[in-house]
Amino acid sequence: MAGTITGNKGLQQEEALIFEQDSPGQSGVDLPAPDAVPSRLGEAARTAPVGLPGLSEPQVVRHYLRISQKNYAIDAGMYPLGSCTMKHNPRLNEKMARLPGFADIHPLQPESTVQGALALINECARWLTTLTGMPGVAMSPAAGAHGELTGLMTIRAALEDRGGPRKRVLVPESAHGTNPASAHMCGYTVEAIPADETGRVDLAALKDRIDDDVAAVMITNPNTCGLFEGDMKNMSDAIHAAGGYVYCDGANFNAIVGRVRPGDLGIDSMHLNLHKTFSTPHGGGGPGAGPVVLSAALVPYAPLPYVVAGEDGFHLVEHADNAEGKPYGRMKGFHGQFGVFVRALAYMMSMGADGLRQASGDAVLNANYLLAALEDDLSLPYPGPCMHEVLFDDHFLKDTGVTTLDFAKAMIDEGVHPMTMYFPLVVHGALLMEPTETESKAALDSFVGMIKGLASEAKAGNTELFDEAPRHTPRRRLDETTAARSPVLRWRPALE
């Protein structure tokens, strides 16, 4: 097919478990027998063999390499997973995170021996507050969703201090599922706000629902349809007038870094997915970091611990007794995902302010390139321009017998990781593509050729290409249809 990138043929061979490849007597090391040492374990010492597989070093290396080649990764090719920002992570960041002075320290070391690490956390915090235009930041949350909970708990603490936590949190229906989940975990009733015909929050509907029982609105900006919420300041003013707070899901900050300061939009609390915007490898649940920037109204309630710079060096404020404000507690055992802070700071410093600004511009440019190249072949629910990701729906597949899921599976046969599908829920059969700034024009052109080819095959009725897909992968199609349609994976509270 025209535009094919690479095939996965040849990777289909089964890989036996390492225990099944065991050759008794083989070993990866050749050590002299240990001297007899009297065991202090007495009868508790195990005498039976532990049953580890016997393999030589090359056997082990090849086994794991073969397994890794069956996987797909950003290092293997384009990964346009909308809402996930799967971009290339400069190797410099990894090099910095592996420096022994950073990699070998322990969170329980005395403060005087980790001054460099505390300085790094402080410097990373300074970059984040500068870029967002917010006065404070809680660095400890471990991921975006953890940051949402942190931000909402900070809002709750501030409200409780003013007399009561209030009861409701308003969340747009296009929100990431973690938003309503976090609000619910924080003890709030979640109320959905509909989108208007342009895919943005319906401002009138939002204002209608704001009263003195609303603790916060949670807005994602740019939103999950890849669109900028231009009414953000109006929304913030409306909720502030009613005594509530604005939580912003900042997972898409990569689209606006160096161009928009959330603090200027009236936001009180916002998490930043360092593992997306600031380039840490992620996926499969980690590692990540979700620092939460805070407005002046919320800074006093920030969770412990945090770093302060004193004349005699850096200190970690770990206990409420030593804190200036009224921290509500802590969200994590130690100080946060330190290794991710190192990577994020290395990324920010090496890019510089101008580089970060260019990255957000290039991310938006690349998404709009896909929009322009594909809008006649796929179907666009909301007119562009878009921000860092472009949302299509499945109207172009109407009457073809091919679904979004089939289309995504056929992309795997073409050697590319599919885009995000069936999210956001506000459009039918969503295909959400986020190319990121790290893809070249040549890579985008190749991707566009592949998508155009698949779209024309679907429209020509070549359903067998899709029904059976993926055909060239180690595992054939799993039954995901039930999951994609399952009510438990859908978040759509009643809008009536």
Ligand X SMILES: Cc1ncc(COP(=O)(O)O)c(C=O)c1O
Binding site for ligand X (CB under 6 A): 83-84, 143-145, 176, 178, 220, 224, 249, 251, 273, 288, 290
What is the crossing angle of helices 404-413 and 441-459, to 10°?
130
> Considering beta carbons, is residue 173 or 457 the nearer one to ligand X?
173
Nearest to 331, CA basis, from 154, 158, 185, 141: 141
* Minimum distance of ligand X from residue 254's CB (angstroms): 11
Nearer to ligand X, 426 or 469 (CB): 426
AA letter at 72: Y
Kindly state the smallest distance separating residue 97's Cβ from ligand X, in Å.
Answer: 18
Cβ nearer to ligand X, comparing 288 with 470: 288
Under 8 Å between Cβ of 239 and 216: yes
CB 156 within 8 A of CB 175: no
Q: Residue holding tokens 């073409």?
A: 414
Q: Which is nearer to ligand X, 272 or 416 (CB)?
A: 272
Q: Are 230 and 237 in contact (CB under 8 A)?
A: no
Smaller CB separation from ligand X, 144 or 470: 144
Residue showing the smallest CB distance to ligand X in the complex = 144
- Among residues 83, 146, 136, the alpha carbon closest in space to that of 386 is found at 83
Structure-block tokens of residue 209: 């629902």
Q: To the nearest whole angstrom, how small is the minimum distance from the Cβ of residue 273 to ligand X?
A: 5
In angstroms, give the least distance from the CB of 178 to ligand X. Answer: 5
CB of 318 to ligand X, least distance (A): 25
Nearer to ligand X, 293 or 454 (CB): 293
For the chain, what is the radius of gyration of the CA atoms? 25
Q: CB-wise, 133 or 286, nearer to ligand X?
A: 286
Give the nearer residue to ligand X in terms of CB position, either 290 or 429: 290
- Least spacing, CB of residue 143 vs ligand X, in Å: 4
Spatial CB neighbours of 311, under 8 Å, sequence gap ≥ 6: none
In whole angstroms, how close is the CB of 211 to ligand X at the nearest point?
A: 26
Angle between helix axes 115-132 and 338-374 (nearest 10 degrees) is: 30
**Residue (of 78, 90, 37) closest to 343 by Cα position:** 90
289 vs 243, 425, 439, CA distance in Å? 30, 26, 24
Q: How far apart are the first and last CA of the chain?
A: 47
Question: 143 or 458: whose CB is closer to ligand X?
Answer: 143
SS3 of the chain: helix, strand, coil, percent, to 5: 40, 10, 50
The length of the chain, given as a count of residues: 496
The CA distance from 260 to 390, in Å, is 20
- Shortest approach of ligand X to residue 282 CB, angstroms? 7
| Minimum distance, C-beta of residue 144 to ligand X, in the bound complex (Å) | 2
Spatial distance between the Cα atoms of 360 and 354, rounded to a whole number of angstroms = 10
CB of 438 to ligand X, least distance (A): 18
Which of 406, 411, 401 lies closest to 433 in space, CA to CA?
A: 411
CB of 147 or CB of 470, closer to ligand X: 147
**114 versus 255: smaller Cβ distance to ligand X:** 255
Looking up tokens 């795997």, which residue turns up? Answer: 412
Beta carbon of residue 191, minimum distance to ligand X (angstroms, whole number) = 18
Distance from C-alpha of 305 to C-alpha of 118, rounded to nearest angstrom:
12
Q: Is 66 helix (H, G, I), strand (E, B) or coil?
A: helix
Alpha carbon distance 224, 227 (integer Å) = 7
Tokens 């409701």 belong to which residue?
Answer: 168
